[in-house]
Amino acid sequence: MTHISADVQSFDAAEVKPESAAIAAFEQDGVICLRQAIGPHWLSLIEEGIEAALSGASTDLDVVKAAQDKGRFTVSSQAWQKVDQFRRFIFESPLADMSQCILQSQTLTLFYDFLLIKEAGSGSAATPWHQDHSYYPLQGDKVINCWTALDPIPVETALRFWKGSHSSGIVHRAVNFENPSKPYRHARPEHPAVPEIDADPEAEILTTAMDAGDLLIFSSRVFHAAPGNRLDRRRAGFSINWVGDGVTYEDAPALATYRDTRLSTGDLISNSPKFPRVRPA
């Protein structure tokens, strides 16, 4: 069982600026939480987008219900091109400016959006320890996940992070989310296996309860995991994944969400319209 060592360091979103403590904490831990970063207007817009996505607008939608669960586990990715509400949130909300500041990058490129809904009673929908970067055909360090809580999320269902695990420079082997005991179809055998994090007494595990509108920003290289939702209410998040300076495409096996046949190894992903540059605007 995961031992929680401390809270994710949290900051007021209004205080995010160059050379702020939030940037130092992100560099040290690999994750921070910005409180009330996303306002009610934008949360309402995302909810409208969810309704559209679940009604067929998202072409990359997966809804799973385990036999033993009452609730479903729903994920959708790369929906912004079809769901106008998601596009508006990405391009018009304050998120891009906050993300660019934390990333300390002159440029900011949209990689993909990701919707994750664990309905009440979806206890089997646990997310194993992994690094996002293991799944990406990318080379470079400036890749982040900006994860907005859409509901109040207590510690019982909150994301967990292995503090500082992004700093090793090692990208580990991708994990099969559906069955962690079996190999993932795009796993790269030359990468080392994921360590036994829960069994490591020296691994410092961070987590935090969240309110709707709170924002987690974390490195694509930091290890993280999440339990299923055994509570009686929805647990949803909407994440935007960004790429900054110096990150290039790698022609390697990966999900279609992350690939583009118009790109070659060494290209900037912003060379493709699938991955638009958002900053400079």
Q: What is the pLDDT of residues 75-125, one digit of tens each?
A: 999 999 999 999 999 999 999 999 999 999 999 999 999 999 999 999 999
Which among 99, 183, 199, 77 has a CA at the least distance from the CA of 143? 99
User: What pLDDT score was predicted for residue 197?
Assistant: 96
Q: Which tokens is 132 given? A: 């996002």
Fold of 6-262: Jelly Rolls (2.60.120)
User: What pLDDT score was predicted for residue 89?
Assistant: 99
Instruction: Specify the long-range contacts of residues 177-185, CB closer than 8 Å, at least 24 apart.
Output: 177/127, 177/128, 177/130, 180/128
Share of the chain above pLDDT 90, in %: 88
Q: Taking the alpha carbons of 63, 59, 88, 143 in that order, is the dihedral positive or negative? A: positive
Q: What is the mean pLDDT of each run of 10 residues along the chain (281 residues)?
A: 85 90 98 98 98 91 92 96 98 98 98 98 95 98 99 98 96 91 88 94 96 99 98 98 98 95 97 97 79
**Phi, psi torsion values for 46, nearest 5 degrees:** -60, -40
Q: Is 40 exposed, middle or buried (0-12, 13-18, 19+ CB in 10 A)?
A: exposed
User: What pLDDT score was predicted for residue 42?
Assistant: 99
Q: Where are the beta strands (DSSP E) in 73-203?
A: 73-77, 108-118, 127-130, 138-139, 143-149, 160-162
* DSSP three-state, residue 96: helix
User: What pLDDT score was predicted for residue 2?
Assistant: 64
* DSSP three-state, residue 245: coil
Task: Give the up-direction half-sphere exposure of residue 156: CA atoms within 13 A in the CB hemisphere.
Answer: 13
